[in-house]
Amino acid sequence: MTLPTNPTAEVDIFGGFRVTQGPFVLDIGAMYYWYPRERQYAPVPGAVLPSLPNGNVTLKDTDFWEVYGKLAWEVMKDKFAVGANVYYSPSWLNTGASGLFASATAKVTLPSFKLGIGLVDEVGWYISGEAGYYWLGTTDTVIGVFQPAINLPDYATWNVGVAFTWKVATLDLRYYDTNLSKENCNVLTGDPTAGPGGVPSLANPGGLQSKWCSPAFIAALKFDLVASQNLK
């Protein structure tokens, strides 16, 4: 899946500071999301087309910034940890609508086990999950896109999964879901593949429905390149 504006990439630029006090870790910072070479679909001068084939329109650019705070508590060392996160942007995806996201996390680290297969010896693993809620505000009035301004829908989201670690590699198997309706999913995503059949509203006059927010299972393979500097 890509953004409707078809950027060549998503570049995340962030910075902040971290404070550790016993089992507590506080992380505060800011992040800028840059989507280079976006293309606009809207009935305005300079846009690629008046709209996407299904009638959805997009902004000229969706670059935006947010600040965040994260607090982690290792309840039982190397066994059980919980956390709380808060993110805020004054203009979520450059819509002019404020965005506030808050979530709680939990992680249970289980005893490692041995595979004895080739180079893969001892494998660590853990189960983790997150539950959060997004509060979104009202967009700016943007000719051809948000005309009139609309109140973006709030929504809940959650995930749960299991991850296996070996040296610097982590294989994460995770289930994601949200309570967004297909109509509200289209409002937030501008999905070019969204189809008719939903209930029309001010924010979604065509009643277009998107499957982009449907339940999903995602497998991700990650590598901690910083940790690799400490390998013998």
pLDDT value of residue 122: 86
Give the strands of the sheet with 11-21, arranged side by side. 11-21, 24-34, 64-76, 80-89, 99-117, 120-136, 155-166, 169-178, 216-223
Share of the chain above pLDDT 70, in %: 96
Q: What is the pTM of this model?
A: 0.90
14 and 29 in contact (C-beta within 8 Å)? yes
Q: 3-state class of 17 per DSSP?
A: strand
Would you state the pLDDT for residue 81? 98
Q: How confident is the model at residue 232 (pLDDT cuts 50, 70, 90)?
A: very low
For residues 96-123, average pLDDT: 90
Q: What is the pLDDT of residue 227?
A: 52
3-state secondary structure of 189: helix
Say what percent of the chain tops pLDDT 90.
88
Q: What is the pLDDT of residues 26-75, one digit of tens each?
A: 999 999 999 999 999 999 999 999 999 999 999 999 999 999 999 999 99
Write down the pLDDT at residue 228. 47
